[in-house]
Amino acid sequence: MTQQPSGALQNEPRGVLVVAIDGPSGSGKGTIAHRLAAALGFHILDSGALYRLIGLAACNHQVDLADEAALAKIAAELDVHFIPTEDPQEPLQIVLEGQHVTRLIRTDDAGTNASQVAKFTAVRDALIQRQRDFAQAPGLIADGRDMGTVVFPDAALKIYLTASAEARAQRRYKQLKDKGMGVSLHALFLSIQARDEQDMNRLVAPLKPAADALIIDSTEMSLEEVFDTVLAAAQARLG
């Protein structure tokens, strides 16, 4: 029997299947992750929401987004609850320090702030075990940037979902408009490019496909085609 070295973080409890879905902003990971979780009856981890919440909590408490130590403290003490709903448009209600922030953290500015706080090693370290604790039976769909490379390196299946920056900006534009949020397509395109640059080139846990990830470029694919591809891969891998 192998034993976990003392003090080591356990990244996947025995018997719990993890599907890691990573990719850049607007690649459709979130939608695919929720649909896959519903199809398989698995739990879901929206790790981007954690970074968005840290950015929001920092703004609420007037903490500088460049202050790594203060941000890490916020990350370690984050008082957040994820409450599942029956609404496919908003499958999780998010409550931060007693305040409903489900929509507040979805703005483009909240994404930019999240990318800023996510650069810091101390912030990422403070979130590792919290993310691993989401791995509960029968399984977990983990959506993010470093799910397959850092947080769940032993995941049963790793997907890297991408698309051109133009296609992702178009999709994000539609998504935000459908939620009643006013945005400019060009501004979104520039913001997506800036976020790619920051997320892919940071020193710690940069966005990249795991060596054993199935890479799906969805630029020319419909959501249904992407979902069918991912579901088939999950069924083949998970049995």
Q: Residues 34-53 vs ligand DC: string with x where CB under 6 A?
A: -------------xx--xx-
| Chain residue whose CB lies nearest ligand DC | 48
Does residue number 114 form part of the binding site for ligand DC (CB under 6 A)? Answer: yes
Binding region for ligand DC (CB under 6 A) out of 79-87, 114-122, 218-226, 229-237: 114-122
**Of 17 and 149, which has the nearer Cβ to ligand DC?**
149
**How far apart, in Å, are the Cα atoms of 114 and each of 42, 52, 65, 230, 233?**
26, 4, 9, 27, 30
CB neighbours of 123 closer than 8 A, spacing ≥ 6? 51, 54, 68, 71, 72, 75, 117
Which residues are bridge partners to 141 per DSSP? 19, 44
Q: Rank residues 40 and 54 by Cβ distance to ligand DC and give the closer one.
A: 54
Distance CA(218)–CA(216), nearest Å, equals 6
Closest approach of ligand DC to the CB of residue 177, in Å: 17
Give the helix/strand (H/E) hosting 51.
helix 47-60
Task: Please give the helix or strand (H or E) that residue 96 lies within, else none.
Answer: strand 92-96
- Does 118 participate in binding ligand DC (rule CB under 6 A)? yes
Q: Residues 128-167 vs ligand DC: string with x where CB under 6 A?
A: ----------------xxx---------------------
A 10 A CB-CB count for 117 gives 27
Total chain residues near ligand DC (CB under 6 A): 14
Instruction: Dump strand ranges (E) for 136-201.
Output: 139-144, 157-162
Q: Which residues are known binding-site members for ATP? A: 23-31
Q: Which residues bind ligand DC (CB under 6 A)?
A: 25, 47-48, 51-52, 111, 114-115, 118, 144-146, 195, 199
